Amino acid sequence: MEKEMFSLREANSQIKRKLISKFPVEILPDFIQEAILELYENSSFNMDYISGAALSALASSIGNKFHVRKDITWSENPSLWIVMVGRNGQNKSAPQKVAYKAITNKQSELNREYEEAMNSYDPGLGDPKPLKKKLYSTEPTFESLLKMHKDNPHGITIKPDEFKTFVDGLVGYNGSSRRSSYLSLWDGAPISSDRKDAESASIDKPCINIVGGIQDDVIASLKSKDTKDGFFERMLFVVPLKMEKRFVSETPVNEHTISVYISKMHDFLENMLGRHNYEEIGLSPEASRLFDQERNSHVEPSNKDSNVSGILSKLDRYMLRFALILEVTHCFFNSKPVKDISEDSMKRAIMLKNYFFENALKINDIMEKSYESNTPNGKVYAILKAIGKETFSSREFIEKAKQIHSIGKSRSYELLSIGKLTQELGKGQYRSKVYGD
C-alpha cells in the first residue's frame, strides 16, 4: 500500500493536531518545510531542532547584509542566539549539521582558497597577506572572535559543541567575565578590543549568531547562577513538546529533498556574500502598526512579572529580527526585490515570538522543578528535608547533597546560591524555608 501523500499545509496541520511540535514551520519557504518534514519522518530528527537550526542557518547566511530600521533610534541586524534544549542523547547536533550543510561546504571551499593563497604568498614581494575568511567558529576566544569578525564583516556564527562549555568559557583564567562584551555584541553596538597581548580589533556593526545544544538539567544549573544581566533572556530556547528519543525509521531519507534544500541554501548564501554593501530597510505602515500593537500587548504582563518583562523586552527586538529574516528570505526565493518589511512577514515574526516566549517560560519551569520546587522532586527541597532542622550549616548541606544526590561540593554551593528555599544568615549558616512542611 502506497504511503498517503499530504500537502505541506495538511502535513503541518497534522503535526499540530498530534502535538508533535509547536514550531510554526509554515512560516518558512516550502523547500525548507519539505526538508524538515522529510528529516522528521525518515531520519527520526526532532522537528523543533531541525526547524530552529534551519532558521539559524538563514540568519547566518544573511549576516550583516541587511538590517531593519524601526525608526531613527532603533535598528536591528538578523543575529539569533538559538539554544536547543533536550535530554542527553536526544540528537540535538545532527539537525544542526544538516541545516548548516551549505554553510559548512562554503567554509571548506574558503579554507582551500586560503591554503592556496598562502602557498603562493611571498612576504618579500610586498603583497598583503591573505585574509582567512570565516563564516563560523566553534570555540573562539573573545579576542579571536573580534579578529575574525574584523576580517569577515559579513558576520560570524559561533557553533559550540556544547553550549555549557561556551558559557563557562566566558569566564577567563583570571576570573574576568566576557558576558558584558557579548551583551554588546548582541545589541549590535560598536565594540573594540585593545588588550596588549592581542591584536587590536574594532567592529562597527557586529553580527554574531550563536547556535548550540544543552541538556535540560544543565540549563537549569546555568540559570541558577544567572547574574540578572539579561544574558539568558537573549537566548531563544528550542524546547520540544516531547523530550524523548525517536525510533529509527525503516524508510530511507529522500536524498533529492535534502539536496534541494542544500542547493537552495547554497544559492542564498552565495547571493548574500556577493553583496558588497549592507542595506537598511524599514517597516511598511501595516507592519509597523502590527508591531506596535504586539509590543503594547506586552505591557500588562510585563508590569505584573519582572521575569516576563525581561523576556518580552528582548523578544520585542527579536520580532524585528525575525521579520527581517523572513522578508529577505521570502523575497530571494520568490525573485522579488527587498523593499521593506511586509505585514505578512511581521505576522509570521509574531508567530515565532510566541513560540520562543512559551519556551522561555518552559525553561523557567524546568529550573523550578529541577531545583527549587517545594515538592519531593525538588533536589534542594529533598536535601533540606533530610537535614531536618530550621537552621543548618553549609557543611551539613554539602554532606546531605552528596549522600542523597551524589552532588559534589561546588555543585552544592550552586544549589545553595539559588536562594528561594534557603536564606543565608552569614558565616556559612543558612535557614531552611521548608522545615516543618
**Distance of alpha carbon 430 from alpha carbon 393, whole angstroms:** 6
pLDDT beyond 50 at 197:
no
Q: Is 340 helix (H, G, I), strand (E, B) or coil?
A: strand
pLDDT band at 404 (very low <50, low <70, confident <90, very high): confident
Measured N-to-C along each axis, helices 306-333 and 343-367 cross at an angle, to the nearest 10 degrees, of 140
**Distance of alpha carbon 281 from alpha carbon 263, whole angstroms:** 27
User: In sequence order, what are the residues at sequence separation of 6 or more whose Cβ sits closer than 8 angstroms to the Cβ of residue 328?
Assistant: 62, 66, 78, 338
Any alpha helices (H) in 188-228, and if so which ranges? 216-224
Q: Which CATH number fits domain 373-432: 3.30.1150, 3.30.870, 3.30.70, 1.10.10?
A: 1.10.10
Q: Which helix (H) or strand (E) holds 200?
A: none
Reported as a single tens digit per residue, the pLDDT across 307-350 is 889 999 999 999 999 999 999 999 999 999 999 999 999 999 99
Running DSSP on this structure, what letter comes out for residue 25?
Answer: G
pLDDT band at 437 (very low <50, low <70, confident <90, very high): low
CA angle 50–54–60, rounded 5-degree value:
145
pLDDT beyond 90 at 1:
no
pTM over 0.95: no
State the residue for C-alpha cell 500588562: 300
Per-chain mean pLDDT for the chain = 87
pLDDT beyond 70 at 6:
no
Q: Indicate the burial class of 235 (C-beta count within 10 angstroms; 0-12, 13-18, 19 or more).
A: buried
Residue ranges covered by each domain of the chain: 12-77+257-370, 104-238, 373-432
Reported as a single tens digit per residue, the pLDDT across 237-286 is 999 988 777 787 888 899 999 999 999 999 999 999 999 888 999 999 99
Nearest to 63 by CA among 152, 124, 141: 152
Provide the pLDDT for residue 199.
57
Paired sense of beta strands 156-158 and 208-215, if any? parallel
Percent of the chain scored above 70 by pLDDT?
88
Q: Cβ–Cβ contacts within 10 Å for residue 216, how many?
A: 20
